[in-house]
Amino acid sequence: MHPAFSVIFLTTLIGAGQGLFMALVTGQVYSVAQLLEPQDSLSFYAMGSALAMVLLGLGLVAAVFHLGKPSYFFTRAWRGMSQWRTSWLSRELIALPAFMLLVVLYGLAHFAGLTEPLFVIKGVVPVDITLLLGLVGALFSIVLFVCTAMIYASVRFLQEWHSPLTVANFILFGLASGFTLAAAFSAWNGVALVGFFGVWAVIFTVLVAITRGFSMYRNGRIKHKSTLQTAIGVRHTKIKQRSMGFMGGSFNTREFFHGAGEGTVGFIRLFFIIGVFVIPLTLLGAANVLQSAYLPLLAFVAQYVGLLAERWYFFAEAKHPQNLYYQTVG
Amino acid sequence: MTQLALVIDLNVCVGCHACVTSCKEWNTSGIAGPMVDHRPYDPDPTGTFFNRVQMFEVGEYPNTETVHFPKSCLHCEEPPCVPVCPTGASYKREDNGVVLVDYDKCIGCKYCSWACPYGVRELDEQQKVMKKCTLCIDRITDERLPENERQPACVLACPTNARLYGDVHDPESEVSVTIRENGGYQLMPEWGTKPANHYLPRRKTRIQIFDDELERADNPLKKEAPLPAAEGETLDDVAY
């Protein structure tokens, strides 16, 4: 498949935004349970939500450029919410704005300081409106992760994507980058949660290294269902295309081929393995020792750039059966 | 229920591309807007087509065979491209089974093209909406046309009559009979998309003839050999 930069930026940006929001809520839940020091509503939770919104907003901008024309965002995209019964893309188009609304409400509630407990569970757990919004938002974040991933995992023709591993990867990549960003955000603000978010970021990064490793292993030895024999229905072991029917390119030759050489693909794979896994784990470990304000930020930047390469590779490794019909220019 | 479809006879197709050009001519002039060509006279031309004729070589030289292979939307009975569309622009007509795109609803997200294993959907470079074979829906449903012209442009154009058009759900239609009797098959059956379009395979016509069918055993013109009549009546004598 041809890696589209709009989709690469969309999925990585909203993934980090969702992960960051879930990190904030996790921090709040821990502090409600009195496992962590409570943080300042305004400077930590409201600002953190604003940061998550920036990422989600940038993701939305990237998504607009995936439409045929950006103007379709205003004139036609609303229809995209209509087919939620059958289309995961439609479900994402509902889940994304819903989640963004919850992030805004969560941020605003913290900004306005609405932290008076509404009720207290068993006399120990005070529940305020921000906690409720945070928990519902976290749920929607998971829903959005699943919708985004299922857009890819549900296309059965792309066998490299058609696997539960795709869903696991999308969720864990988002959480890893989001918690790394939360650690960077805490370090930058001098909040004492760097270690807490850093440990979770390391856990998620290691988990996604395992699931992504499995999916790369699976894709390396995948057996494609369609062959040239089934594509044209001729039973012969030696079939070769001599002409695809035209000399210039077409949508079929542009959309479904990444056009990069094997060396480039291999380099990008190595690049993302180092960028997503090796550098962040090293930097987060070093940050834990050195108490630096910059290292977690560097870890996030490295992981995000690595994730861009990972998403590029994700597209490049998927082989579409239609390519059987477009082998030979002629 | 009606399911309109094409049956393409690979035994007859000569790969002349008449269906490609007539398709483009009819549909680029139609109500749905042009099928745009970009850089048509430059080194790297590209454009929207609903129909392509490809060519495959089967076997190894010198035992090769050329298969001309016209490819357009197969109007699947379980179209995987339809349910993935987020806007409902992609749909299958209830009354005749033709899979269509509503160009006014399409947002050009290309997701339907990912969900088609046959690669028969093309994004128009100018309108930026997904386009595909309509089976000439504006032609086949136009009752002002004489009945024999209510057929897709490609079918009317084919000089060798390699393209048949009809209702594959009617067991007595020409297309159903030819699928049944001439070994019609579907492309990529492994995906369960149930394409409505069928292809007829390449067929060889061979008759088996034995030597004694060419020459009577007691042919009197064989002067040199002794007549077998000396050994009594032959089966041929009895039979006639």
Any CB–CB contact under 8 A between A221 and chain B? no
| pLDDT tens per residue across all 330 residues of chain A | 999 999 999 999 999 999 999 999 999 999 988 888 888 888 899 999 999 999 999 999 999 999 999 999 999 999 999 999 999 999 999 999 999 999 999 999 999 988 888 888 887 888 899 999 999 999 999 999 999 999 999 999 999 999 999 999 999 999 999 999 999 999 998 888 999 999 999 999 999 999 999 999 999 999 999 999 999 999 999 999 999 999 989 999 999 999 999 999 999 999 999 999 999 999 999 988 888 888 999 999 999 999 999 999 999 999 999 999 999 998
DSSP string for residues in B206-223? -----HHHHS-TT-TT--
Contact list in B for residue A67 (CB cut-off 8 A) is: 107-109, 128
CA distance A57 to chain B (A): 19
- The string of pLDDT tens digits covering residues B186-240 is 999 999 999 999 999 999 889 998 887 887 766 667 666 665 556 666 677 777 6
Which chain A residue shows the shortest CA-CA distance from B189?
A: A230
E strand or H helix at A50, and its extent?
helix A47-64
Question: Pick from A93, A246, A325: which is nearest to B86 by CB?
Answer: A93
- The string of pLDDT tens digits covering residues A45-71 is 999 999 999 999 999 999 999 999 999
What is d(CA B7, CA B30) in angstroms, rounded to the nearest whole number? Answer: 24
Domain ranges of chain A: 5-70+77-224+241-325
Contact A107, A5 (CB under 8 A): no
Q: Please tell me the predicted confidence (pLDDT) of residue B217.
A: 67
Contact list in B for residue A63 (CB cut-off 8 A) is: none
ipTM for the predicted complex:
0.92
CA distance B57 to chain A (A): 5
Nearest 5°: the CA angle B232, B235, B239 is 120
- The string of pLDDT tens digits covering residues B133-173 is 999 999 999 999 999 999 999 999 999 999 999 999 999 99
Joined tokens for residue A94: 């509902």
B58 and A236 in contact by Cβ < 8 A?
yes
B116 and A157 in contact by Cβ < 8 A?
yes
Joined tokens for residue B84: 């993935």
B54 and A325 in contact by Cβ < 8 A?
yes
Any CB–CB contact under 8 A between A225 and chain B? yes
Contact list in B for residue A230 (CB cut-off 8 A) is: 187-190
Question: Pick from A81, A255, A323: which is nearest to B110 by CB?
Answer: A255
Which chain A residue shows the shortest CA-CA distance from B191?
A: A157
**HEC profile of A199-267:** HHHHHHHHHHHHHHHHHHHHHHCCCCCCCHHHHHCCCCCCEEEEECCCCCCCHHHHHCCCCCCHHHHHH
Domain at A5-70+77-224+241-325, CATH from 1.10.1200.10, 3.40.720.10, 1.20.1630.10, 2.30.30.280: 1.20.1630.10
- The string of pLDDT tens digits covering residues B32-82 is 788 999 999 998 899 999 999 999 999 999 999 999 999 999 999 999 999
Contact A318, B115 (CB under 8 A): no
- The string of pLDDT tens digits covering residues B80-123 is 999 999 999 999 999 999 999 999 999 999 999 999 999 999 99
pTM of the model: 0.91
B53 and A67 in contact by Cβ < 8 A?
no
Which domains, from first to last, does chain B contain?
4-200 (3.30.70.20), 207-240 (no CATH)
